[in-house]
Amino acid sequence: VMMDINAKKFPVSPSLYGLFFEEINRAGDGGIYGELVRNRSFEDTIIPDRCHVEGCQLHSPAGWVSPFEEAPGSIPGWHLRKDEAKADIYLDGKDPINSENPLSLRVEIEDAFNERISIYNEGFFGIPVKKDERYFLSFFAKKESTFSGNLEITLENKKGEILSSKSCQIASESWQKYEVVLESEGEEPEGILAFSTNERGTFWLEFVSLFPQKTFLERENGLRPDLVRRALDLKPTFLRFPGGCFVEGFSVETAYRWKKTIGDVTQRSSHWTLWQYRTTNGLGYHEYLQMAEDLGLDLMYVVNCGLTCQGRPGEHVPIEDLDEWIQDMLDAIEYANGPITSKWGSLRAANGHPKPFYLKYIEIGNENFGPAYNARYKLFYEAVKAKYPEIITIFNIHWEVGTETAGLPVEIVDEHFYADYDYYLMYHDMYDFYDRNGPKVYVGEYAMILGDGAGALKGAISEAAFMTGMERNQDIVVMSSYAPLFANIHHTNWTPNLIYFNGTNSYVSPSYYVQKLFAENRGDIVIECKVETESRFSYFKGEVSIRQKELSYIKDINISSNDQLLFKSEDLTETHALSRLEGDLLKIGEPSWKEYTITMNALLGEQGLKVRLLDSTKEWQQNYILWELD
């Protein structure tokens, strides 16, 4: 590598690395959102077209089938535990606590036979319970006059042993809210929350919610701290939320509408996502703003521009009806940034945040394109700029660079790539050729997802090669985010992802280390450097050099299986070798723990990361390789 240290090019883009957060793979509900009860308000049930629920006003979308959920009509997350007793549980649509939460759970015990009968929730694939920790339970309940109302509420381990217990008396025949603090005397990664009685009678439960005290910063309705830390370790600078296709939905009814996601959680509506589960929207618009503030990130809100996911025909908002959607966007900006005296700013204050958040970016639509999108984009863009000229807008999406944005006012254009190994190597230098007078670029979603090596080190290396091209061209590529960020291992409907988790643990992919490495090692100025190495593939030269004071960062990706001379230059006396990967590029399903050194970092000095290869075939039953820091 030849570096001319006097050849200053341009400053680095401070916003180059950020987080793409989407409600996908249970990233939110059953993920970073701290709620431990699954199906807390009973609307998760897939309700057949011919509804069997008494008083039911809720139907699942036509033809809705989810490979992850129980059969239509069953009540996901909830179970009845009994022996000989005559008892059953039912969904009930009569007398809802409010119109947004139409269903509750009716528990009918005809004859208890003195047995202990329990209704329990299994959480999101187990409720993680830690010793000596406090859990805040709240629920609504009512009873029939003949039932005593005595319930024992317990956290239990898998064997049914009680870790925490409190008694509670349901006092009324109309809905009342109850709050109970449970402190655990034991540990169980996959526990349950149970309501038990040995008496006959009927009672109802609704909006059963359980949060650990130890959410991130101990916020109420808060986030899971270990997952927040995983995200923070990536050294991101912004948060794009809430998707992804999640924003668009698979129909107008399932589109993201932020106004339904703020305020008292028990008044919010839940909705089906196109990622095959129902979101509670407990992690709502306000919580996303709070998340970004707590993590020190700039905010990027992706708004639905009236188009559903990937242009499903017949499911769009007609352009003449867009006023309401445009107004929704303006109100979202006012909610985030407006003064306390404004309508939506005052609501933000009432929801606990008098000071404005600082929403910086609005992305108009997600993965929308073509004439239908362009017409909508223009309307949204003009509305934002007329009222909030300081907001930076993002256009999506580049399919044919340059042609779609012609004649439109575009500040930044979002580009998505889900491609294979060869693609990322082949196009590592594509940004070298972009028009410097065109819009800036946000590589909003990318990941090597196709073919051998996806989700493994091989894929991560190809992404790294592509990223050198982004880094080298930070004058136009101003932002990027790998996608998706999170996946619950029990509900993964997109692979690969950066961070995998169950209720208690998380593991990260090789791509995570690439992201972390690149984002952690930043400089001030991008400077010229040239590769002069015989042994590279002729099309491949993924290098970038960034200088910061006396320190230079060189990011150079060696895809060959041989050591390569990394650099030799006049001002740097040392010579560093970028050594080959130990072993070959890894294969999916390779057994047992093994030590490798990721040498792709190629930093000044030798900072190889030690990682261990987790046996993907046994422990996690996943079809890709997961890694953990040694």
Cα dist from 16 to 239, 268, 416, whole Å:
12, 35, 15
Binder among 22, 23, 298, 414 for ligand AHR (CB under 6 A) = 22
- Name the residue nearer to ligand AHR (CB basis): 24 or 322: 24
Structure tokens given for 200: 């006959």
Q: Count of residues binding ligand AHR (CB under 6 A)?
A: 11
- Name the residue nearer to ligand AHR (CB basis): 18 or 523: 18
Distance between CA atoms of 48 and 102, rounded to whole angstroms? 16
Binder among 494, 501, 512, 540 for ligand AHR (CB under 6 A) = 494
The residues near 214 (Cβ < 8 Å, ≥ 6 apart) are 133, 225
Helix (H) or strand (E) holding 287: helix 285-295
The residues near 390 (Cβ < 8 Å, ≥ 6 apart) are none
Helix (H) or strand (E) holding 518: helix 510-520
Residue of 557, 586, 603, 254 whose CA lies nearest to 425: 557
- Name the residue nearer to ligand AHR (CB basis): 250 or 494: 494
Distance between CA atoms of 273 and 23, rounded to whole angstroms? 8
Minimum CB separation of residue 309 from ligand AHR in Å reads 8
Residue 96 in the binding site for ligand AHR (CB under 6 A): no
Q: Are 345 and 339 in contact (CB under 8 A)?
A: yes
Q: Are strands 134-143 and 201-212 parallel, antiparallel or unpaired?
A: antiparallel
Binder among 243, 249, 455, 523 for ligand AHR (CB under 6 A) = 243
Cα dist from 226 to 230, 375, 414, 504, whole Å:
6, 43, 30, 9
- CA angle centred on 185, ends 183 and 186, rounded to 5°: 120
Q: DSSP letters along 375-415, please?
A: HHHHHHHHHHHHH-TTSEEEEE--SSTTTTTTTS--SEEEE
- Name the residue nearer to ligand AHR (CB basis): 494 or 512: 494
- Name the residue nearer to ligand AHR (CB basis): 365 or 439: 365
Minimum CB separation of residue 573 from ligand AHR in Å reads 45
- Name the residue nearer to ligand AHR (CB basis): 453 or 496: 496
- Name the residue nearer to ligand AHR (CB basis): 243 or 469: 243
Select from 242-250, 371-379, 403-411, 498-506 the region that touches ligand AHR (CB under 6 A): 242-250
Binder among 76, 484, 496, 542 for ligand AHR (CB under 6 A) = 484
Distance between CA atoms of 611 and 630, rounded to whole angstroms? 5
Distance between CA atoms of 200 and 419, rounded to whole angstroms? 60
Longest dimension (CA), the chain: 90
Contact code string over 245-284 relative to ligand AHR, x by CB under 6 A = x---------------------------------------
Q: Which of residues 443-482 bind ligand AHR (CB under 6 A)?
A: 445
- Name the residue nearer to ligand AHR (CB basis): 282 or 484: 484
| Residue with nearest beta carbon to ligand AHR | 244
- The 10 Å Cβ neighbour count of residue 9 is 17
Select from 62-70, 105-113, 240-248, 379-387 the region that touches ligand AHR (CB under 6 A): 240-248
Q: Which of residues 147-166 bind ligand AHR (CB under 6 A)?
A: none
Minimum CB separation of residue 27 from ligand AHR in Å reads 10
Q: Which of residues 355-414 bind ligand AHR (CB under 6 A)?
A: 366-367
Minimum CB separation of residue 467 from ligand AHR in Å reads 17
Minimum CB separation of residue 396 from ligand AHR in Å reads 9
- Name the residue nearer to ligand AHR (CB basis): 128 or 244: 244
Structure tokens given for 494: 């997109």
Minimum CB separation of residue 3 from ligand AHR in Å reads 36
Binder among 483, 489, 499, 578 for ligand AHR (CB under 6 A) = 483
- Name the residue nearer to ligand AHR (CB basis): 77 or 496: 496
Minimum CB separation of residue 534 from ligand AHR in Å reads 39
- Name the residue nearer to ligand AHR (CB basis): 30 or 484: 484
Select from 89-97, 243-251, 328-336, 379-387 the region that touches ligand AHR (CB under 6 A): 243-251
The residues near 555 (Cβ < 8 Å, ≥ 6 apart) are 464, 467, 468, 471, 518, 521, 542, 543, 544, 545, 546, 601, 602, 603
Minimum CB separation of residue 57 from ligand AHR in Å reads 30
Distance between CA atoms of 227 and 186, rounded to whole angstroms? 23
Contact code string over 547-576 relative to ligand AHR, x by CB under 6 A = ------------------------------
Minimum CB separation of residue 483 from ligand AHR in Å reads 4
Binder among 30, 93, 123, 244 for ligand AHR (CB under 6 A) = 244
Distance between CA atoms of 305 and 397, rounded to whole angstroms? 13
Minimum CB separation of residue 432 from ligand AHR in Å reads 26
Q: Are strands 188-197 and 150-156 parallel, antiparallel or unpaired?
A: antiparallel
Helix (H) or strand (E) holding 130: none
Q: Are 110 and 200 in contact (CB under 8 A)?
A: yes
The distance in angstroms from the start CA to the end CA of the chain is 31
- Name the residue nearer to ligand AHR (CB basis): 78 or 361: 361
Q: Are 526 and 471 in contact (CB under 8 A)?
A: yes
508: left (phi over 0), alpha (psi -120 to 50) or beta: beta
Select from 122-130, 179-187, 238-246, 506-514 the region that touches ligand AHR (CB under 6 A): 238-246
Select from 205-213, 241-249, 464-472, 620-628 the region that touches ligand AHR (CB under 6 A): 241-249
Minimum CB separation of residue 508 from ligand AHR in Å reads 17
List residues binding ligand AHR (CB under 6 A): 22, 24, 243-245, 366-367, 445, 483-484, 494
